[in-house]
């Protein structure tokens, strides 16, 4: 009996010890869990919280319905036709697809509606100098950088959100640059085609090699100006084209410098030509002035293309620095040419307003007596087209830029109409 009681007591004691061990282990696990929960729920840095609030807010481009009374000059609308650009707009502004479809339906119902989406002015992401391992959103304004935010890495569960903000900003800015790029490159290409036609019409009696070099330059710049979304979106391709543009800029300023020197040289070597020689020089200057106008324009377009492909990363002042220098040189050259023409017109007694020249020498002697009866005998008509050539050379000077456009510092306004997207390329207060 005593033996049986001892066994029972032993079992009870063992059970109690086991229960105590299990309970102790459960408490330890519970404490460990509490510590883990505390670590997991501990607040992250204020910087990370700031980023998270940005992430949660998202990047949205609202679409605004314009009042029915809104009138838009059709000339200020540029249709966005590139498939890649349209696809990027649809990806970045999902509601645009539905809105575009709605405008088609409403047009069928004879209820034309306009909608506007505004992509905010240029912003690019750069590495932060103040915070290691962070990127920075830089927002440009009319007077430079107008704001920025550091986007820092957070814990692994939030990394995807941080990258989505960076990608969101980059995508929005990319769409803006694509829209702007398609418009301005189309405009540049159109100018280059016009200049090529004007060069083609120039007589070949001048240096054919020089003319050929200008045509080659126009062709190579034109190739880059043919809008390519692939170039705009591919950083490697953009850098290659920017290098090419620098080379073409060198060729353009070399040719323009030659033209300006030739104009100056001819005017200095022929200070007092007779009428026949004057006619020959006017023809020479006519070709040189045409070359000068073309080269100034192509140099300006190269500068604009450099700014476009720089996507706001290269200042307009830097892009246009050489253009401004050679523009001034060209204006000075034209001023010298104007002074040369003024001297010849006075010396040769030319009346540009009445398209006539006073008879001189033997011809003037024999016309003196009839001239007393009728004034017209004292003069003879100028060679056909001479007045127009002279006026072209002395009056229309190269047009100076007020200031290079900071096109990436402007909001990009997209108009949705009749199921199509348009870039509103002129400043507007509509809506």
**pLDDT of 125 strictly over 60:** no
**pLDDT of 425 strictly over 50:** yes
Cβ atoms of 98 and 65 closer than 8 Å? no
**pLDDT of 10 strictly over 90:** no
Cβ atoms of 241 and 214 closer than 8 Å? no
> If you average pLDDT over residues 16-25, what whole number do you get?
63
Question: Which of residues 203 and 176 earns the better pLDDT score?
Answer: 176
**pLDDT of 350 strictly over 70:** yes
Q: What is the pLDDT of residue 214?
A: 94
Length of the chain equals 431
**If pLDDT is split at 50, 70 and 90, which confidence band does 26 have?**
low
**pLDDT of 364 strictly over 80:** no
> What angle (nearest 5°) sits at the alpha carbon of residue 400, between those of residues 289 and 223?
70
- Could you read off the pLDDT of 212-253 as tens digits, one per residue? 999 999 999 999 999 888 899 899 999 999 999 999 999 999
Q: What is the pLDDT of residue 422?
A: 93
Average pLDDT value over all residues in the chain: 76
**Rounded CA separation 300/298 (Å):** 5
**pLDDT of 31 strictly over 60:** no
Buried-state track 330-367, b at ≥16 Cβ within 10 A, e below 16: beebbeebeebbeebbeebebeeeeebbebeeeeeeeb
Ramachandran quadrant class, 349 (left: phi over 0; alpha: psi -120 to 50; beta: rest)? left
How much is the pTM?
0.71
Please state, in angstroms and as integers, the Cα–Cα distance from residue 388 to each residue in 143, 282, 353, 425, following that order: 44, 11, 11, 35
Q: What is the pLDDT of residue 22?
A: 63
> What angle (nearest 5°) sits at the alpha carbon of residue 266, between those of residues 261 and 271?
130
Element at 148 (helix H, strand E) = strand 144-151
Buried-state track 177-209, b at ≥16 Cβ within 10 A, e below 16: bbbbbbbbbbebbebbeebbeebeeeeeeeeee
Radius of gyration of the chain (CA): 37
Question: Which of residues 360 and 155 earns the better pLDDT score?
Answer: 360
Please state, in angstroms and as integers, the Cα–Cα distance from residue 83 to each residue in 67, 79, 183, 226, 421, following that order: 29, 12, 14, 15, 11
Q: What is the pLDDT of residue 112?
A: 72
**Rounded CA separation 418/365 (Å):** 75
Give the residue ranges of DSSP H helices in 77-207: 83-92, 95-108, 156-200
Strand-pair partners of 118: 413
DSSP 275-292: HHHHHHHHHHHHHHHHHH
Cβ atoms of 338 and 391 closer than 8 Å? no
Cβ atoms of 79 and 420 closer than 8 Å? yes
Q: Which residues, other chains included, contact 138 with Cβ-Cβ below 8 Å and sequence gap of 6+?
A: 123, 124, 125, 126, 145, 147, 148
The SS3 assignment for 128 reads coil
């Amino acid at each position: 009996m005593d033996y049986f009681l001892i066994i029972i007591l032993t079992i009870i004691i063992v059970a109690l010890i086991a229960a105590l061990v299990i309970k102790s282990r459960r408490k330890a696990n519970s404490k460990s869990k509490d510590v883990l929960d505390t670590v997991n729920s501990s607040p992250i840095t204020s910087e990370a919280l700031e980023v998270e609030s940005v992430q949660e807010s998202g990047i949205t481009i609202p679409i605004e319905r314009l009042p029915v009374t809104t009138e838009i000059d059709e000339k200020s609308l540029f249709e966005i036709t590139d498939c890649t650009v349209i696809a990027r707009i649809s990806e970045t502004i999902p509601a645009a697809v539905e809105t575009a479809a709605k405008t088609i339906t409403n047009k069928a119902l004879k209820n034309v509606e306009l909608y506007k989406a505004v992509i905010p002015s240029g912003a690019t992401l750069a590495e932060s100098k103040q915070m290691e391992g962070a990127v920075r959103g830089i927002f440009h304004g009319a007077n430079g950088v107008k704001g920025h935010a550091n986007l820092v890495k957070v814990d692994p569960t939030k990394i995807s959100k941080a990258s989505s903000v960076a990608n969101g900003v980059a995508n929005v800015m990319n769409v803006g640059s694509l829209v702007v790029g398609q418009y301005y490159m189309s405009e540049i290409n159109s100018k280059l085609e016009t200049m090529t036609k004007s060069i083609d019409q120039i007589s070949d009696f001048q240096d054919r090699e020089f003319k050929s070099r200008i045509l080659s330059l126009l062709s190579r710049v034109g190739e880059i100006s043919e809008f390519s979304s692939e170039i705009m979106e591919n950083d490697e391709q953009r850098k290659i084209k920017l290098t090419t543009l620098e080379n073409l800029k060198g060729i353009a300023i070399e040719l323009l410098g030659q033209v300006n020197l030739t104009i100056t040289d001819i005017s200095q070597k022929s200070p007092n030509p007779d009428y026949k020689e004057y006619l020959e020089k006017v023809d020479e200057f006519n070709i040189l002035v045409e070359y000068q106008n073309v080269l100034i324009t192509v140099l300006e377009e190269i500068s604009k293309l450099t700014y476009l492909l720089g996507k706001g990363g290269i200042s307009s002042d830097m892009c246009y620095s050489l253009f401004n220098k050679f523009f001034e040189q060209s204006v000075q050259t034209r001023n010298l040419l104007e002074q040369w023409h003024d001297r010849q017109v006075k010396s040769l007694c030319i009346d540009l307003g009445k398209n006539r020249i006073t008879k001189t020498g033997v011809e003037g002697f024999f016309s003196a007596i009839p001239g007393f009866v009728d004034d017209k005998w004292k003069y003879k008509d100028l060679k056909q087209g001479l007045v127009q050539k002279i006026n072209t050379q002395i009056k229309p000077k190269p047009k100076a830029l007020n200031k290079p456009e900071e096109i990436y510092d402007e909001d990009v306004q997209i108009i949705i109409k009749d199921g199509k997207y348009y870039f509103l390329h002129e400043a507007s207060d509509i809506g």
